Amino acid sequence: MSDYNYEHIRKAVSRWRKSKLMRELKKDDQMEISKDDNRSLIIDLTFRYCLAQIVVTDPVFAPYQYVSFEALALDSEKSRRMGQEETIYFFYDSPEYTMQDVISELDNGIKYCSDYVPDLLLKTYQGKKGFLKFSLNEAYKVFHPDDVKKVSETLLGQQFTCIDTYAQYLAVENDGIILMVLPGIFCSYSP
C-alpha cells in the first residue's frame, strides 16, 4: 500500500511546517495556520511582495489530489495591466507525485515566494530565444500540467521564444506551438 494518501500527506505537511518551514522563512515573512483538523490543514503565508496559501484536504472536486499551493502578487505591472491579481506561483499534486515530491515542491514554492520580485521573471525572459532541456520521465515536474500531454522528444531540437509568463512558468512559442515551462529547462544552447 502506498504511503501517499490524505492522512499521511496531511501529517507530513504538518511536520514539514513545524520544522523546515519555520527555519526557511525570512525575517519579514509570516505564517499563520487558518485551520488544522482532520478534514484540512490551511497555512496562510505573507511575504514581502506576495501572499500564499497551502491547502491540504481530501477534496470532492479540485484541480489537485490533496495539496495545493497558490500565491498572488501584492502589486505588479502585469496585475495592474490585467486589472486583477496575478497568480505568481502554483502547485497542485497529482497521482504521479510521491510524498517527497510534494515536500520538495512546497520547499520550492516557499523559496520562490520569499525571493519573488514583481515582474522580474517577465523582464528577464521576454523575447529571449532558447531550447528546452528536459527528461521525458520528469515532464510533469517542469511543464505546466496542461502541457504535459504535448511533450515529446522532438521538442528538444526546436528553438523557442519566450513570449510571456504565467505564474512561475515561461510561455514559450515555436511555429504556433505554445508551451508553459519552468525557466530551469529553457536554455540558450541546444541540448
User: Which three three-digit cell numbers place residue 145?
Assistant: 500540467
Beta strands in 58-122 (DSSP E): 67-73, 87-92
Amino acid residing at 68: S
The residue behind cell 491579481 is 85
Q: What is the pLDDT of residues 20-63, one digit of tens each?
A: 666 667 778 888 899 998 889 999 999 999 999 999 998 777 78
Other C-beta atoms closer than 10 Å to the C-beta of 31 total: 16
pLDDT tens-digit readout, 68-82: 999 999 888 888 888
- How large is the average pLDDT for residues 107-124? 93
DSSP class of residue 17 equals: I
Cα 104 to Cα 136: distance, rounded to the nearest angstrom: 19
CATH topology of domain 121-187: SH3 type barrels. (2.30.30)
Picking from 127, 174, 170, the residue whose alpha carbon sits closest to that of residue 154 is 174
pLDDT for position 131: 94
Pairing mode of beta strands 129-132, 87-92: unpaired
pLDDT at 21: 61
CA dihedral sign, ordered 106, 45, 43, 81: negative
H or E segment to which residue 115 belongs: helix 99-115
Quick check: 131 and 157 in contact, CB under 8 A?
Answer: yes
Q: Distance (Å, rounded) from C-alpha 183 to C-alpha 144?
A: 12
Please determine, for residue 64, whether its predicted confidence score (pLDDT) is greater than 90. no
| pLDDT tens-digit readout, 131-189 | 999 888 888 889 998 888 888 877 878 899 999 999 999 999 998 989 999 999 999 87
Q: Are 69 and 105 in contact (CB under 8 A)?
A: yes
pLDDT computed for residue 1 by the predictor: 38
Q: Which residue reads 506576495 in cell numbers?
A: 50
